[in-house]
């Protein structure tokens, strides 16, 4: 047993006059002990016993076993340089740009549509441009508001939950204020006096911008679950098959296109350092929001051939260009009827393959994203069990 215990042990020793910490009883609490010091080694009696100078204690010298001693390490000298800096407003703009990344609006994409469709032949490009110009209502720069359904929140007989706002640094607070201004201008939120309130935080998106999310965890804990099923990822991908033409459409701030019931408006309240606000549309990060949006897209795309949906990502796939145009036209008509808006900047039109749900699909192929493969290839070769566990954890996430 001792041999096994000593496998990880290390030989220790101290020199005369070396500083050490000594395990001594706590004054007034004889059953407790802690390391005190530093004290100096007066004499080495054997490999494990030392005489330690303990000035200020009841005994000026103590006989201590090595297990009662620890090495004392002096703190390194800190060299501090102080300089006077005049603050420039340009730094504030630079910090703001770090958190707020402006993406192209639909109007900007439409002005340069040829560059987005440069992968198509000339006649195919003209077909798609004519089709897009026929549906201006689904290409607005602000999210639409569907009339198909409303999102409701059922909290039973739960009492209102009130939380204080999270603290934000000045740069993030400026981003939040710009987002609040945008939402007020477009009727997404309104000032509120509701007894409910949840804090907000900024979450980084894949494109480098920041998404304002509301921490509804406490509201979620009292919300009744919506049992509407979410599609399986592998089913969505498998349906594409050997299609030659694939288009992927992203809805412009999809959740914001679903209005709330009056009951939900009184519950889905968020608070910032500047005030309390009520959501007029379905917010991100809310329980049952994916189920509500899946229900909406199931209604909108019901019976549409060559169409797959996963929450706010819609994919149209066809074996010929003519059928692809016809299917896309029907899809646009459904969106127009439901008063929904697409985000052209994040959509891929008429391609042989697209990135969909973390995979490159089209032409009978299903491949992982190049970035995910590169991340695995560049991962250091594990040299012990801990690193191997870390690799398996990252591999599962990727």
Q: What is the mean pLDDT of residues 250-266?
A: 92
Pairing of strands 269-272, 19-26: unpaired
Of 9-23, 325-339, 358-372, the least confident = 358-372
| 3-class DSSP state of 10 | coil
Rounded CA separation 213/199 (Å):
9
- Specify the pLDDT at position 267: 92
pLDDT tens, 33-82? 888 888 999 999 998 999 999 888 888 898 999 989 998 887 655 444 44
Residue 328: CB atoms within 10 A of its CB come to 24
Distance of CA 62 to the CA centre of its chain: 58
| Bridging pattern class, strands 198-204 and 269-272 | parallel
Look over the chain and give the mean of its residue pLDDT values, rounded to a whole number. Answer: 83
Q: What is the largest CA-CA distance in the chain?
A: 99
Higher pLDDT, 236 or 70: 70
Match 């469709």 to its residue by tokens: 117
Q: Do the bridges between strand 313-318 and strand 245-251 make them parallel or antiparallel, or are there none, so unpaired?
A: antiparallel
Give 99's pLDDT tier (boundaries 50, 70, 90). very low
- What token pair was written down for 345? 């900047």
Residue range 237-249, pLDDT digits in tens: 777 777 888 889 9
Q: Tell me the pLDDT tens digit for each residue of 149-192.
A: 999 999 999 999 999 999 888 888 999 999 999 889 988 999 99
302 pLDDT more than 80: yes
CA distance 279 to 197: 11
Residues 6 or more apart whose CB falls under 8 angstroms from that of 370 comprise: 360
| Top-confidence residue, 94 or 224 | 224
pLDDT score recorded for residue 81:
47
Over residues 133-159, mean pLDDT = 91
Instruction: Give me the pLDDT at residue 160, please.
Output: 92
Nearest to 354, CA basis, from 325, 330, 318, 305: 318
Joined together, the tokens standing for residue 381 give 């070769």
pLDDT at 291 over 60: yes
Average the pLDDT over each of 87-101, 161-175, 181-195, 248-262 and give the range with the smallest value. 87-101
pTM score over 0.75 = no
Mean pLDDT throughout 124-138?
91
**Which residues, other chains included, contact 31 with Cβ-Cβ below 8 Å and sequence gap of 6+?**
none
Instruction: In whole angstroms, give the CA distance from residue 121 to residue 349.
Output: 13
Could you identify the residue written with the tokens 């490159």?
360
pLDDT(370) > 90: no
Residue 354 has pLDDT above 90, yes or no: no
Alpha carbons 318 and 306: distance in angstroms, whole number: 6
Helical segments of the chain, H only: 2-5, 89-99, 106-111, 113-116, 122-133, 170-185, 217-220, 233-238, 262-267, 289-300, 321-338, 370-377, 385-397
Residue 95 confidence (pLDDT) above 60: no
The answer to whether 69 and 52 are in contact (CB under 8 A) is yes
pLDDT of 89: 47
User: Judging by beta carbons within 10 Å of its beta carbon (0-12, 13-18, 19+), is residue 191 exposed, middle or buried?
Assistant: exposed
What contacts 67, CB < 8 A, 6 or more positions away? 48
The per-residue pLDDT for 177 is 92
Mean pLDDT computed over 16-29? 87
Residue 270 pLDDT greater than 60, yes or no: yes
**Cα distance between the two ends of the chain:** 44
Please tell me which of 206-210, 230-234, 248-252, 375-379 the model is most confident about, judged by mean pLDDT: 248-252
pLDDT band at 209 (very low <50, low <70, confident <90, very high): confident
Average pLDDT over residues 101-119: 82
Q: How confident is the model at residue 87 (pLDDT cuts 50, 70, 90)?
A: very low
- At 397 the pLDDT is 47
Q: How many CA atoms lie within 13 A of 33 on its CB side?
A: 8
Identify which has the larger pLDDT, 371 or 320: 320
The per-type count for the chain, helices as H runs and strands as E runs, is 13, 17
271 burial via Cβ count (<10 Å: 0-12, 13-18, 19+): buried
Q: Could you tell me if 233 and 357 are in contact, meaning their C-beta atoms sit under 8 angstroms apart?
A: yes
At residue 227, does pLDDT exceed 70?
yes
Q: Is the separation of the CB atoms in 283 and 171 below 8 Å?
A: no
Contact yes or no for 356/157 (Cβ under 8 A): no
The Cα–Cα gap between 301 and 75 comes to 68
DSSP letter, residue 232: P
pLDDT band at 372 (very low <50, low <70, confident <90, very high): low
Q: How many Å apart are CA 308 and CA 301, to the nearest integer?
A: 8
- Using CA atoms, how far apart are residues 103 and 167, in angstroms rounded to an integer? 27
Domains of the chain listed by start with CATH number: 14-71 (2.30.30), 123-363 (3.10.10.10)
């Amino acid at each position: 047993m001792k041999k096994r215990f000593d496998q990880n042990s290390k030989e220790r020793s101290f020199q005369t006059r070396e500083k050490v910490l000594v395990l001594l009883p706590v004054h007034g609490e004889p059953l407790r002990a802690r390391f005190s010091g530093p004290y100096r080694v007066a004499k080495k009696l054997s490999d494990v016993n030392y005489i330690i100078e303990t000035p200020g204690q009841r005994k000026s010298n103590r006989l201590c076993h090595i297990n009662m001693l620890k090495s004392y390490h002096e703190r390194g000298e800190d060299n501090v340089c102080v300089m006077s800096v005049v603050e420039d407003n340009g730094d504030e703009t630079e910090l703001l740009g770090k958190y707020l990344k402006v993406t192209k609006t639909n109007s900007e994409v439409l002005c340069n549509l040829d560059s987005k469709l440069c992968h198509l032949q000339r006649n195919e490009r003209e077909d798609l441009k004519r089709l897009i110009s026929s549906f201006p209502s689904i290409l607005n720069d602000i999210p639409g508001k569907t009339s198909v359904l409303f999102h409701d929140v059922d909290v039973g007989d739960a009492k209102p939950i009130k939380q204080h706002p999270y603290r934000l640094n000045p740069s993030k607070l400026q981003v939040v204020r710009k987002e609040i201004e945008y939402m007020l201008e477009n009727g997404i939120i309104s000032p509120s006096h509701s007894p409910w309130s949840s804090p907000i935080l900024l979450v980084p998106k894949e494109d480098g911008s920041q998404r304002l999310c509301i921490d509804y965890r406490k509201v979620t804990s009292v919300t009744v679950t919506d049992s509407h099923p979410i599609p399986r990822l592998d089913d969505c991908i498998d349906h594409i098959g050997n299609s030659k033409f694939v288009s992927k459409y992203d809805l412009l701030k999809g959740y914001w296109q679903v209005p709330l019931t009056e009951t939900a408006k009184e519950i889905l309240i968020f608070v910032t350092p500047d005030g309390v606000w009520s959501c007029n549309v379905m917010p991100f990060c809310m329980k049952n929001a994916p189920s509500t949006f899946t229900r909406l897209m199931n209604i909108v795309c019901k019976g549409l051939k060559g169409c797959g949906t996963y929450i706010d990502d819609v994919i149209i796939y066809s074996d010929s260009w003519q059928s692809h145009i016809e299917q896309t036209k029907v899809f646009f008509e459904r969106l127009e009827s439901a008063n929904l808006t697409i985000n052209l900047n994040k959509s891929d039109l008429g391609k042989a393959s697209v990135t969909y749900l973390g995979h490159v699909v089209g032409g009978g192929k299903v491949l992982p994203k190049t970035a995910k493969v590169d991340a695995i290839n560049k991962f250091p070769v594990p040299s012990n069990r801990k690193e191997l566990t870390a690799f398996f954890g990252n591999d599962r996430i990727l």
